[in-house]
Structure 1
Amino acid sequence: MAISFKYWDDCLDPEDMQLMWADPHVSKEWIDAGEGPGQKVHLSRDPDGEAYLTQTEMMAVAAITVHKHFKSQLDPYMIGALAEIASGRRLFVDNYDRKTKEIKAGIMQVTIEVAQWLGRELGYKYYDIEEDANLLYWPFVNVYFGAAYAKWLFSCDDKERTEEFVVRAYKGGKKKAVHKSTSPIFQRYLYVKEALLSMRQPESFNDLTPNLLANSSSTEGQLIYWDSKVSEVDMDAMWSQPDVIKEWTKSGERRGNVRFSHDSKRRPYLSRVEVKAVAEITISRHLSSKGVTPEALAALAELAFSCRDCGHRAYNVSSVDDLYNPFASMYFGAAYLGWLSQYEGRERSHEFIVQAYLGGPENVSLQETGPFWNKFLEALRLYQDPKNSEQCHVIVLGLQSPQY
């Protein structure tokens, strides 16, 4: 056993602990067991002293995790049933896989290698286990990565997979997903899932929804998914971009529920593929006559988004939250860039425009804002065709300009 905890509070973020208490089924079970709000809650133990989650606790963890990270993409009952057949809902159980020579850990029997791969390659970075692998034993962390792996299995090898394939592959491995040896796994899974459904009906999870929203800022909740901030037209445009399709498909995204990537501090961000796609779509629609290249706009976005109202109305902004829409933010940034190009009625140089964009037009100076130009050129190289990288110091805002 790699690690152990005595209390729920030792392996949960305070927000998740509040959400557990907010579930009426969990709070009743805990209070009936002698636990109380404001006090540490003991983890349940079996006769051998091993910590485990009750079915009530497991379904609450599954429902909260799905609602926060995989809404409309995964079924909480599927996650709960997978946890049952994977580990018996035991928190700290380890199993060594002789074939892969990896250790499967925790409730969902996730290996550290798979969890790290999901974070590095597929963008599942809400929890960062690179620095502390023991976080994988935390209930919400383990279920998060287990659910992410199950979601990936649904579209692995560029094929749409059935629930049966996912369950059999999750427990027995992809190669045995259609082998007769894993058939009993799916039968047991169906039995467990039916038992969970009889214990708690799906509509009872609606009790958690208001509490999730109340305990998370509106911006954080909305920034989990692209689809919550971007119109259907804009999402269709993104899905028409070959590089975006490749990246999103690789990370297991589906139409209607595309997640934003999050960094180690849980802040949403756009990949460079996404930034460039948004820039290309925005310019082609609204600003093709402004002489701004998608690469230049993407490079500025790499440094900082700056959103100001310069008389452009393609996107309605009624509150600051509206600017979290990548298309709206990129649009106003591009519009502001065009306005700066003719600041105070004079045609401005590229250096001035970039420095004014990042530091303000009234503050442009070689000493204070000069470094912005060099940083911009560095960022620009990230978005240009490597074959034409030698031109990055010449082609900036879409116009051929003298050597600087």
Structure 2
Amino acid sequence: MATSFDYWNDCVDVQDLEAMWQEPEVSTEWLDAGETKGNKVHLSRDPDGEPYLTQTEMKAVADIIVRRHFDSQIQPDMICAVAELASDRQPLSTRWYDKKTKETALGIMQILPKTAEWLVRDLGYQAYEVEGNPDILYRPFVSVYFGAAYIKWLSNFEEEDRSEEFVVRAYNGGTKKATHKSTLQYWKQYLSVKESLPSRSSKHIGKGATVLYGSANSATSKVVVGLRFVDEGPSVNNAHSSTAQAAPATQNTNAPSSEKTGVDYIYWDSKASPEEMQEMWSRSEVAKEWTKSGEKRGKVRFSHDKDMKPYLSRVELKFLKILSLPKFPFFVNLSPAQYFCLVFFFLDTYFLHSQSFVLLLRWELGHRAYRLDFAGDLTKPFVSMYFGAAYLAWLSEYEGRERTPQFVVPAYLSGPKNVNHQETGPLWLKFEQALSNYEDMKRDPGNCTIL
């Protein structure tokens, strides 16, 4: 494939680039990433060097195309969800091959050149000329235009109003398989992806927060998540640690925390599903600890350390591990003790480079117990542990080879391509020291921090 894009300027017209700059969320994202109007705008790149659109950019392209050409008759989120599954938002994607026509689908929306030519010739979608120029389908605006046109045609297939499920499944497998079991899983994946798409009002999670799916040069940015052990004494605002007394009345969960304690509490209930909370409450040790400190169902605070950072008590951590065990993809090279120690003690150095890596874990490797929408989702205890464990499992067989703990541990901490036994040796020693602390967790009622 000769086509190559380094910049947005390589794959959009001048007026399209200007339209992108006029989208407030896009201009904010680009300016924050160091892009400047009037100069070339870098495309984001995944760890393999492939260009991709951030979710902000993808939403903007879909919005613009729908406004321009479809009189707002198509849901942009539908386009975005299809693009997510079809190509991971990679404009140069060539994932699907049609054995009958011997054609390869191209671009973000994975459109066959013959399909695009048919849309131009028979249905009058003539904004772009495709015949004799199939590479034009690699361009984001062009691909989304023809993808949206095909979606609109499917929505009224055989002059009958069709459901969203019919359209999505037909987009994946053709109209004859829109109700066939072979496209059912795709529909379920689509619903999950669509539900996880960020709203325009939630691109940033608080001051200084990072959106998981990147900035315009997010291939170089790290999304850090925190699960780390600290050997500190009882915390200042410990709501329910096993080492602390019951919470004083001024820390009652029914009182506005900022007014009476000076602490903006983070609640378990905002970081776990109702089912996970029910599982935690069903454990007598957890329920005893929470009840003793005045916690109530629906509003359970995290404890806070002396720096006002929320953390997990050892009782919480113990049962988080127990309840998470069925979801973990265990592997043979690390013992359970080593495994959990690495997740617990060093997850603050674990990062995801891009949406492509997330989809690698979720869709291609089958780790789908949780969606991962923003960096903030990795501060959820069950989610954070799950993806940390999935990453460990991936590293244990990195590049098809069975890896030893001496490789996996430094790779987890510094990246698999940066493992050097001389340079990363101290990381292994640090891990062994942490492992001894982890073994002590079975006896010592200290604390483990999170978030």
Q: Which has the higher helix share?
A: 1
Q: Which of 1 and 2 has higher RCO (CA within 8 Å, sep 6+)?
A: 2
TM-score, structure 2 normalization: 0.43
TM-score, structure 1 normalization: 0.48
